[in-house]
Amino acid sequence: MQRRPCAAPRTDTDTDTDTDTDSGEYAVKIISATVIVTSPSRNFVTLKITTDDGVTGLGDATLNGRELAVAAYLSEHVAPLLTGRDPHRIEDTWQFLYRGGYWRRGPVTMAAIAAVDMALWDIKGKVANLPVYQLLGGASRNGLQTYGHASGRDLPELFDSIRQHRELGFTAVRIQTAIPGVRAVYGVAAQPQASGERYDYEPAGRGAYPVEEDWDTRAYLRHLPTVFEAVRNEFGPELPLLHDGHHRMTPIQAAKLGKSLEPYDLFWLEDCTPAENQDSLRLVRQHTTTPLAIGEVFNTVWDFQTLIREQLIDYVRAASTHFGGISPLKKVMDFAAQHQIKSGFHGPTDVSPVGLAAQLHVGLAIHNFGIQEYMEHSAKTNTVFAQSLTFVDGLLHPGEQPGLGVEIDEVAAATFPYQPAYLPYNRLNDGTMHDW
Ligand code: EZ4
Ligand code: CO
């Protein structure tokens, strides 16, 4: 019998069986790929791939505020193409979905491809009986240093939040505070929202329409250095401090902020300018030695090309889920290593436990790990996802279970149906829309 072409999908008329191949490459086939949308305390989109010998793999396709678009992309256009493919051909399947789709990139496409990539790594690990980090080269460290999100409406509340995080074992903290004159600011957990339930300390609120927030860059630039001065005075010079500018400044404003924060020795300043304008980082870089982190909204390795090659950043903020999965995350970090740039993968709770596990395995294996963002998932989320990660003495570890180490309880998942939820948007005082 003639061999089928490489990785051709099974068709209805195909009478081929698993046993008539001599190379072994068709020994296992994908028999199903199903999409699970669940909202235990927030919305998550999970892909479950099953092979004909009963092994399952999970991938995260959660895209905050646009969840159902990725779910449809997967169930309508990707799942049918996966049936019959060899689950072990991870790179080939990634390229098939990326190049074969013709319309490349974008968060919906790349979250969908990410879910497939993660699920196939999960399967490969289970078949090999090894945690995924072992397949990526093995551990380069004992565990991953993490940072938590400290925030407050004023200094006493912020100081309490920093103390709480240190008691939980965090050895680094991100600092976000309210700004006098601004009603609602990104990243301040205790701040009341205009409407919508705040969940998991993340900014998206449940409800059919996004909440409006306001913004004043001049007030922010004046206020923030005073907050960092107070935190350094209270907690001393050792504690690594981070801050997220959340895409709101122009290049010259970001340069000014970077300079004014230099006395407080930040671990990083994140997303100081909107990511679309890569050239703007040159200007920021020329003016400040405050380390820069960027890329949580990037989709592909190519988005980092200029920033890494010209050493315009210090940390890669990509998230496994929004960046096409484990395979491209490993590639971008290998490229970054040549330029002494480290990882700082995006780990909010809108990356599911599956997506978080995927990047923990990468972070444990690569040499140029920097720091890992960690926001614990809620107790409700943990009733749906069983995680094997551990967090001891400030170090995260993905655990030793074969594969990614996360399983989903589909019965529990079904009890939490999707609920519309949107990230807020920003307007300036005169009503102009601004980056949120
Ligand atoms: O606002 O993931 O660094 N973390 C962040 C996040 C983002 C959310 C958006 O869904 O900027 O909190
Ligand atoms: Co951010």
If we measure between CA atoms, which residue out of 196, 256, 193, 257 comes closest to residue 227?
Answer: 257
Please check the confidence at residue 403 and state whether its pLDDT lies above 50: yes
Q: Write phi, then psi, for 196 (nearest 5 degrees).
A: 85, 145
Whole-number pLDDT of residue 368? 98
Catalytic site includes residue 186: yes
Count Cβ atoms below 10 Å from residue 12 Cβ, excluding itself. 4
Whole-number pLDDT of residue 195? 43
Please check the confidence at residue 323 and state whether its pLDDT lies above 60: yes
By three-state DSSP, how is residue 210 classified? coil
Type of residue found at 146: T
Residue nearest to atom 4 of ligand 1 (CA): 348
Catalytic site includes residue 73: no
The preferred substitution site among 199, 246, 271 for testing ligand 1, maximizing ligand atoms within 8 Å of CB, is 246
112-133 pLDDT, tens digit per residue, is 999 999 999 999 999 999 999 9
Whole-number pLDDT of residue 201? 64
Q: Which of 26, 73, 186, 220 is catalytic?
A: 186
Question: Which residues have a Cβ under 8 Å from the Cβ of 15 and sit 6 or more positions away?
Answer: none
Please check the confidence at residue 293 and state whether its pLDDT lies above 80: yes
Please check the confidence at residue 371 and state whether its pLDDT lies above 80: yes
The preferred substitution site among 273, 296, 323 for testing ligand 1, maximizing ligand atoms within 8 Å of CB, is 296
Residue 81 CA, ligand 1 centroid: distance in Å? 32
Strand-pairing partners, residue 37, are 45
Can you tell me the distance from the alpha carbon of 228 to that of 191, in angstroms, rounded to the nearest whole number? 19
Residue 192: pLDDT band (50, 70, 90) is low
Can you tell me the distance from the alpha carbon of 436 to that of 429, in angstroms, rounded to the nearest whole number? 14
Q: Please give the biggest Cα pair distance in the chain.
A: 77
Judged by its nearest atom, the ligand closest to the C-alpha of residue 42 is: 1
If we measure between CA atoms, which residue out of 209, 194, 143 comes closest to residue 423?
Answer: 209
Q: Write phi, then psi, for 238 (nearest 5 degrees).
A: -75, -45
- Written as six digits, the tokens of 132 are 């995924």
* Index of the ligand 1 atom closest to the CA of residue 202: 12
Query: Quick one: what percent of the chain has pLDDT higher than 70?
Result: 92
Q: Which of 149, 165, 246, 322 is catalytic?
A: 246
Average pLDDT of span 23-30: 72
Residue 244 CA, ligand 2 centroid: distance in Å? 5
Judged by its nearest atom, the ligand closest to the C-alpha of residue 186 is: 1
pTM of the model: 0.94
Residue nearest to atom 7 of ligand 1 (CA): 348
Please check the confidence at residue 4 and state whether its pLDDT lies above 60: no
C-alpha R_g of the chain: 22
Residue nearest to atom 2 of ligand 1 (CA): 348
Can you tell me the distance from the alpha carbon of 43 to that of 419, in angstroms, rounded to the nearest whole number? 7
Please check the confidence at residue 12 and state whether its pLDDT lies above 70: no
**Strand 425-428 and strand 212-215: pairing?**
parallel
Summary mean pLDDT of the chain: 92
Residue nearest to atom 6 of ligand 1 (CA): 348
Query: Quick one: what percent of the chain has pLDDT higher than 90?
Result: 86
201 neighbors 193 (Cβ within 8 angstroms): no
65-114 pLDDT, tens digit per residue, is 999 999 999 999 999 999 999 999 999 999 999 999 999 999 999 999 99
Can you tell me the distance from the alpha carbon of 189 to that of 271, in angstroms, rounded to the nearest whole number? 19
DSSP run (H or E) holding 68:
helix 67-72
Residue nearest to atom 9 of ligand 1 (CA): 64
Residues with CB under 6 A from ligand 1: 64, 203, 244, 246, 296, 346, 348, 350, 423
